[in-house]
Structure 1
Amino acid sequence: MGKVLKPAVNIKGTKDGLLFLLDESRPFPAVLSELKYKLENASNLWDGPDTRVCIKLGNRQITRDEEKEMRELFSTHKNLIIHTIEADHGKPYLVDDQGIQLQAGTVRSGQVLEHRGDLLLLGDVNPGGTVRSTGSIFVLGALRGLAHAGGEGDDSAIIAASSLCPTQLRIANVVSRPPDEWETSETSGMNFAYLVNGQIAVDKMHHLSRIRPDIEWKDNRFKR
């Protein structure tokens, strides 16, 4: 008698929505195939109000292309909204070889700069300007607008700036409005914001290696 495989996709209801548990031991194409089957063949179960979806990868890491394939499967049900993609070790995505990407210019009021991966911006983010990235954001200039790092759920992302005076910071799904004392931080040197215990904290840049020891220089590139 052949071995019976456990399901590659388990779905559980929670008070916040739906939890999709993906079997880390199965090849990812097999996981996608079963996910597609369950989404297509029980379509009446997915009809209804908007529902937050949390995807748990276990100890698996996926590529951005694999993420795209998975999101396309969910896109057939507009009410299923992927809120987070999480791994047990905190890093759901495989790191590519490109390292940090460089852009230069000023993000002015009303402008939105969106980026996939880690971003190094040589310039200012003016009040009313917005920078969003799926990775970390480093601004060699003044950050006076809104910055959202870890936009797809990466809670290890950071936001750093030569002058950190934002109107609002977001890391993963956590939002922080800056305290009044940040208004005077322009002369206090480079600072960075990071998540700790579900809240956004700010520290001096020279403490980065202690707080985020997984961030380091490799082959002249900033890698995480």
Structure 2
Amino acid sequence: MGHKHQYVTIKGTKDGLTLHLDDRCSFQELLTEIEEKLSANQQILPDSPPLEVHVKVGTRYITNSQEEILRKLIRKKKNFTVGSIESEVITKVEALKWMKQSGMTTVCRMVRSGQVLEVPGDLLLIGDVNPGGSVIADGNIFVMGALRGQAYAGRDGRKEAVIVASVMKPAQLKICDIINRAPDRFQDSKNEMECAYINEKEQIMIDRLQVLSLLRPDLSLRILERGV
């Protein structure tokens, strides 16, 4: 009798068991082997408290109904509960959402007093933000013009987000949950591009644009990849 292929690998962790599933076999073959292996493990630990089982399905796409079948199969065993089921495959909706959040929106106009410009990813504004105007982005903000209103970057929680402006004279800056109201130095700022970022002391700092290559070395590569 030939050697049976192992489609399921079980590893014990401090959080319970992790099941690594082969993504090249049929779903039914996985179910059969999971049943066998969990039964074998159950015999070894008959009186133990329930163990969490974390399932990693690799590059296999798992439908909602298949996920529920997996959960029922694991739960029906006395000693196991389902901790998580993870796939490396994302749906088209999730992919489009990610692309939208990680992409850059380019806008060519002036943001006037009372106007609010919001984008899901990074913002490249070619124009000024007048006093009373606001620009908001989940990611970074690049203003190719004068920033005299409010700018809020990293709205989705990205503390590494930055704000860049050709003329940095804002009424208020906000990155993630850190706010910096305009200090006196904004009024005396030279007409050169500057950047705002959160430093290691959780403060928003303003510096020359050139420091970004040291502070955010991956930022230049991301911008080049977008063709900006």
Q: TM-score, normalised by structure 2?
A: 0.57
Residues 100 and 120 in structure 2, CA contact (< 8 A), matched pair in contact too? no
Instruction: Quote how far apart the aligned CAs of 1:156 are.
Output: 1.4
Q: Measure, in 1, the Cα distance between the counterparts of 2:93 and 2:172.
A: 30
Change (3 A) 1:66 1:111: same
Residues 132 and 149 in structure 2, CA contact (< 8 A), matched pair in contact too? yes
- Counterpart amino acid of residue 113 in structure 1: L
2:106 corresponds, among 102, 117, 130, to: 102
1:133 corresponds, among 128, 132, 137, to: 137
- Counterpart amino acid of residue 6 in structure 1: E
1:205 correspondence with 2:209: yes
- Counterpart amino acid of residue 155 in structure 2: G
Instruction: Quote how far apart the aligned CAs of 1:183 are.
Output: 1.1
Q: Measure, in 1, the Cα distance between the counterparts of 2:167 and 2:105.
A: 20
- 1:190 corresponding residue in structure 2: 193
Residues 167 and 194 in structure 2, CA contact (< 8 A), matched pair in contact too? yes
Q: Which runs of 5+ in 1 are unaligned?
A: 9-22, 35-59, 69-92
1:6 correspondence with 2:52: yes
Q: Measure, in 2, the Cα distance between the counterparts of 1:113 and 1:63.
A: 29
> Once the two structures are aligned, what percentage of the paired residues are identical?
41
Q: Measure, in 1, the Cα distance between the counterparts of 2:149 and 2:62.
A: 41
- 2:162 corresponding residue in structure 1: 158
Residues 149 and 159 in structure 1, CA contact (< 8 A), matched pair in contact too? yes
Instruction: Quote how far apart the aligned CAs of 1:99 are.
Output: 4.8
Stretches of 4+ aligned residues off by more than 2 angstroms: 1-8, 25-31, 62-68, 93-101, 217-220
- 1:73 corresponding residue in structure 2: none
Q: Measure, in 2, the Cα distance between the counterparts of 1:140 and 1:188.
A: 12
Change (3 A) 1:127 1:96: closer
Instruction: Quote how far apart the aligned CAs of 1:179 are.
Output: 1.1
Residues 154 and 176 in structure 2, CA contact (< 8 A), matched pair in contact too? yes
Change (3 A) 1:138 1:94: same
Residues 99 and 221 in structure 1, CA contact (< 8 A), matched pair in contact too? no
Q: Measure, in 1, the Cα distance between the counterparts of 2:92 and 2:185.
A: 38
More helix by share: 2
Instruction: Quote how far apart the aligned CAs of 1:98 are.
Output: 8.0
Instruction: Quote how far apart the aligned CAs of 1:29 are.
Output: 6.9
Q: Measure, in 2, the Cα distance between the counterparts of 1:153 and 1:63.
A: 23
Output aligned runs, 1:12-51, within 5 Å. Answer: none
Q: Which runs of 5+ in 2 are unaligned?
A: 1-35, 42-50, 69-87
Secondary structure in structure 2 of the residue aligned to 1:218: helix
Residues 133 and 150 in structure 1, CA contact (< 8 A), matched pair in contact too? yes
C-alpha RMSD over aligned residues: 3.7
CA deviations over 1:159-200 (Å, ceiling 9, x no partner): 000111111111111111121111111x34110001112221
Instruction: Quote how far apart the aligned CAs of 1:96 are.
Output: 6.7
CA deviations over 1:77-122 (Å, ceiling 9, x no partner): xxxxxxxxxxxxxxxx956798533111111111000111111111
Secondary structure in structure 2 of the residue aligned to 1:106: coil
Change (3 A) 1:213 1:127: same
Output aligned runs, 1:35-114, within 5 Å. Answer: 65-66=93-94, 99-114=103-118
Q: Measure, in 1, the Cα distance between the counterparts of 2:204 and 2:91.
A: 27
1:147 correspondence with 2:151: yes
Q: Measure, in 2, the Cα distance between the counterparts of 1:140 and 1:215.
A: 17
